[in-house]
Amino acid sequence: MKSFRKTLSSALVAAMLLSVGSTAVFAMGGPSGAKIDWQVQGEIGAVKINPYGYSPLTAVIQNGGYVLKDASVEIVPKDGGRKISYKIDDNKLKLYGGIPVWGLYADHMNEVKVKYSKKIPGKQEWQNVSEQYKIPTAPVMLPTSGLLGHTKVPVGSIKVEKVEKGFEDRLYLVNNVTGKSPANSSQIVWNNPAGGAMEWNYGSNAFIIDTAGDVRWYFDSSKLISFTDFMHTGIMMGFQQGKDGALTWGYGQRYVKYDLMGREVFNRALPLGYIDFSHSFDQAQNGNYLLRVASANTKRPDGNNVRTVRDVIVEVSPNGEVVDDWRLFEILDPYRSDAILVLDQGAVCLNIDASAAGHTMSEEELAKLDSEGAFGDIAGTGTGRNWVHVNSVDYDSNDDSIIISSRHQNAVIKIGRDKEVKWIIGAHKGWKDKFKDKLLQPVDSKGNKIVCENDYSKCPGYENEKGGFDWTWTQHTAFIIDSKTNKNVVYLTVFDNGDSRGMEQPALASMKYSRAVVYKVDQKKMTVEQVWEYGKQRGNSWYSPVTSLTKYMDDKNSIMVYSATAGMGYDLAAGKVLGVATPEIDEFKWGSKEPSVMIKFTGVGNGYQAMPISIDKAFAPKK
């Protein structure tokens, strides 16, 4: 009897479970049929905001099960705002499962107009559709180093001073840093007493603005960066947009690629022989990537094993294999101290210390580093210290070589695949004999030789606001103008920060100024001509002691400039270092003396770099 009851009880339970299961199946799509139960706008599908979790001002209007083609999007501008509109490649509609919407306003109920054709199920016919969607967004939230983890971009922090006709459609990516380590960050120490690039464990952000000053995209770095994991932290730097419209950059021990919708293409650790990415990620014309890194372990001639600092370029293939590297401590002279000894120790790139402003290192202090065996992120000489500080790399496909900008050698240098120096733009003082025939001779527009003083450190134009020639000093970014460059002549854009100009510190800090410069190098004659400059007339107010960018833009035949730490100079009236950056974007028609675009920033962190971004590269049908 007990066995019978147990069997009966089990049968009843099984029947009840079967009954519940059947009811659940019917409720979820049994007799009621296949369906969707999310909110749908318009004729196709639901709106998925921030589809990949990294780009909050993007969305996808899902295709609703239809096959789509010939789509276009228009973001209706706010009062006084800029319209964003673009066509979409049919394969992008398949990639995103619908219509990608990019450029939404933050903290706003956006109106989005779309046009598309949808295929009628079971037929070969297509229906043309025009409709409008409403898409709400939250405020922009960027990381800070203060008490809050994120901050809403302050109203009025982006001030558009000037936008001339022909530049209204510009979109600028801005890459800034907080300038201080957040309390929850960890310091990664490679060499005592200080670390390498990972010492810069600050918050960083990237956002895109239009020419009305509105933020139209930003990358949520809090989803990417983990301050307590040394393999997933570091400042985001080296942004570049490729031909496919996606963005590449690096941070700490990684280099990455994401498209403008926030879709991850790859996120990779550096090859294990290298550490500390910062500053520069170049997408070379040969399809490979050039990363400014350091060596993870190098044996010095004195027997010490060290991790080097910002002095290695590694070339990797698209799938991450190492193709080649340039070990600059073996190619250049890591003991050339002339530029190191005149650096303002108050601003050594992002290591900013206002209390040390204007101070320079003595020969005795430099020698002490060797006697004490001190290595790491120290402005000094010798492998294992910050002796060269490369902040940009660009590939010249004409002769399979690279051009680097070395802040701590005050030099722009071209180096071949054979690891031989081809030429050097910079003051001639202090270079070893084997480099002396690589030092370029300044000339004027007619090819006449320009004679400079003090071992070619002070040239006419050094203090002349009306022109002349000057080298660059603690410069950032040396980029090739590809469309104007050939095997014989190289055109370069450089941001001349201006610290230690003339291989000295000026009598007054307020005398410092920065410049955007275009150089023309005749590689056969071994000459360099200065063909354009801007910045002297702005004086100390436009002076950026660190960071910044100058870059030629082929689409508008223009020069884009970001004076990224303007305002961190010397306040003549107050008699003190300001220490507060007011970055400024300027864009010039080729050859123009005044900008066509001027946009100023306050309260958005210290600037690093900025550049125009193309949405057509990201979405438009391929020609």
Question: Residues 219, 175: contact at Cβ < 8 Å?
Answer: no
Q: Where are the alpha helices (DSSP H) in 372-505?
A: 433-436
Question: Residues 469, 460: contact at Cβ < 8 Å?
Answer: yes
Q: Which among 308, 236, 293 has a CA at the least distance from the CA of 267?
A: 236
DSSP letters of 333-365?
-TT--TTGGGS-TTEETTEE-GGGTT----HHH
Phi-psi region of 456 (alpha: psi -120 to 50; beta: other; left: phi over 0): left
β-strands 527-534, 441-443: how paired?
parallel
| First-to-last C-alpha distance (Å) of the chain | 82
Q: How far apart are CA 186 and CA 115, in angstroms?
A: 49
Q: How far apart are CA 350 and CA 374, in angstroms?
A: 20
The DSSP H or E segment spanning 217 is strand 215-219
Phi, psi of 614 (to 5 degrees): -105, 120
Q: How far apart are CA 113 and CA 40, in angstroms?
A: 16
Tokens of residue 466, six digits: 């009306």
Catalytic, 476? Answer yes
User: Residue 569 CB: number of other CB atoms within 10 A?
Assistant: 27
Which one of the listed residues 279, 389, 428, 476 is annotated catalytic? Answer: 476
Phi, psi of 6 (to 5 degrees): -65, -40
Question: Residues 195, 377: contact at Cβ < 8 Å?
Answer: yes
Q: How far apart are CA 386 and CA 620, in angstroms?
A: 43
Please state, in angstroms and as integers, the Cα–Cα distance from residue 576 to each residue in 499, 508, 569, 580, 601, following that order.
Answer: 17, 11, 9, 12, 21
Q: How far apart are CA 113 and CA 111, in angstroms?
A: 7
Positive or negative torsion for Cα 254, 258, 262, 266: negative
Phi-psi region of 360 (alpha: psi -120 to 50; beta: other; left: phi over 0): beta
The three-state (H, E, C) secondary structure of 298-319, written as one string: EECCCCCEECCCCCEEEEECCC
Chain centroid to Cα 311, Å, comes to 19
Q: How far apart are CA 592 and CA 398, in angstroms?
A: 28
Q: How far apart are CA 283 and CA 314, in angstroms?
A: 12
Judge if the upstream peptide bond of residue 193 is cis by omega within 30 degrees of 0. yes
Give catalytic residues, as residue numbers.
476
